[in-house]
Amino acid sequence: MNEEYDESPSFMDRLLSRDPETMHLQRLAAANGDADAQVNLGDILWMEEKYEEAARWHRKAARLGNAAAQFSIGSMIFDGEIEGDLDEMVYCFFAASETLWLGRFKMGECYRLGRGLPQSYEKAMVWFLKGEIESIAQERRLEACCAFFNAAPSEYAQAYAVDKRTPDMKRLVRKNAWKELTPEQLAEGLRRLTEYETTLL
């Protein structure tokens, strides 16, 4: 065994455990304009469901150009956790989209659902396809659009299983099959998926 192995808690472990000294240092750094410290405090407060206080720190970091904070503010408004207008939500997602795939994904969701932007499946698909496909969530959404485009209405429940990643989804769509469709065809699949979801409410 390596005797030099450091078993002491990491900075994030101390932060997540609300270690008093670490929290004090984070609050000092945040108060002095450190955007990363502001995001850390905001995240901790969000986990404690203190959404307004979390948003206060995230907004400070967002004004400093921190993409994670911008995304967090947009998401808290989108999810109804804090008060905020839809213009602020869209602005935050757009700002975050410059560096975060999550920002681009949420811009697509805003267009898909008509939240803060006019509903447009074509524009939603532009955002879903923008940049590199960096996450399972992005790929899952595109696979679901492909499944809905290729499915008959009687098969929509099976196609929806692709979006929800049920165990039988692998037999419903080939991996990367969405790449064979045009953006317009994927947008049509997205329209069908969205309209199907409304029938489940």
pLDDT at 100 over 70: yes
From the number of C-beta atoms within 10 Å of its C-beta (0-12, 13-18, 19+), residue 180 rates as exposed
Q: Which residue has the tokens 């004004």?
A: 63
**Domain ranges across the chain:** 18-96, 136-200
Q: Of 131, 161, 130, give the one whose Cα is nearest residue 143.
A: 161
Which one has a higher pLDDT value, 161 or 71?
71
Q: What's at 183, amino acid-wise?
A: P
Structure token pair of residue 49? 């469901």
Tens-place pLDDT, residues 146-172? 999 988 898 898 888 876 666 555 556
pLDDT at 107 over 90: yes
pTM of the model: 0.83
Contact 56, 63 (CB under 8 A): no
From the number of C-beta atoms within 10 Å of its C-beta (0-12, 13-18, 19+), residue 5 rates as exposed
Q: What is the dihedral of CA 116, 85, 69, 49, to 10 degrees?
A: -110
Contact 128, 142 (CB under 8 A): yes
What is the predicted pLDDT for the residue at 9?
Answer: 57
pLDDT at 86 over 60: yes
Confidence of residue 122 (pLDDT cuts 50, 70, 90): very high
Mean pLDDT of 70-81: 97
Angle at 28 between CA 27 and CA 29, to 5 degrees: 90
Confidence of residue 5 (pLDDT cuts 50, 70, 90): very low
What is the predicted pLDDT for the residue at 3?
Answer: 44
Task: Assess if CATH 3.20.20.210 describes domain 18-96.
Answer: no
Query: What is the residue-averaged pLDDT of the chain?
Result: 87
What is the predicted pLDDT for the residue at 8?
Answer: 52
**Residues 97, 73, 189, 170, CA torsion sign:** positive
Structure token pair of residue 173? 């769509």
Instruction: Compute φ and ψ for 146, nearest 5 degrees.
Output: -65, -45
